[in-house]
Amino acid sequence: MSEEPDSINCPNCGKNVPWTRASRYRPFCSQRCQLIDLGEWAAENYRVPGEAGPAPEKPDSESLQ
């Protein structure tokens, strides 16, 4: 009965991305593609958070999308 797709294609590079909760950057294949789409990657101001430092996450937000 579910109409949810099994997978989608990354809007940025066209890579096939499994439509699962594990794909946190969907519809993008990766954080990089997400940032590129947002235009932040090109700005080169963005720093991918490593193990150090706070990493604010909202797990509940994933289930809303």
Instruction: Using the minimum distance from each CB to Zn ion, give the nearer residue, 29 or 35.
Output: 29
* Burial 47-63, CB ≥16 within 10 A → b, else e: eeeeeeeeeeeeeeeee
Q: Which of 8, 22, 25, 33 binds Zn ion (CB under 5 A)?
A: 33
Question: Which is closer to Zn ion, CB of 31 or CB of 55?
Answer: 31
Q: Interface with Zn ion includes 13 (CB under 5 A)?
A: yes
Q: What angle do CA 49, 37, 63 make, to 5 degrees?
A: 70
Q: Which residues bind Zn ion (CB under 5 A)?
A: 10, 12-13, 15, 29, 33
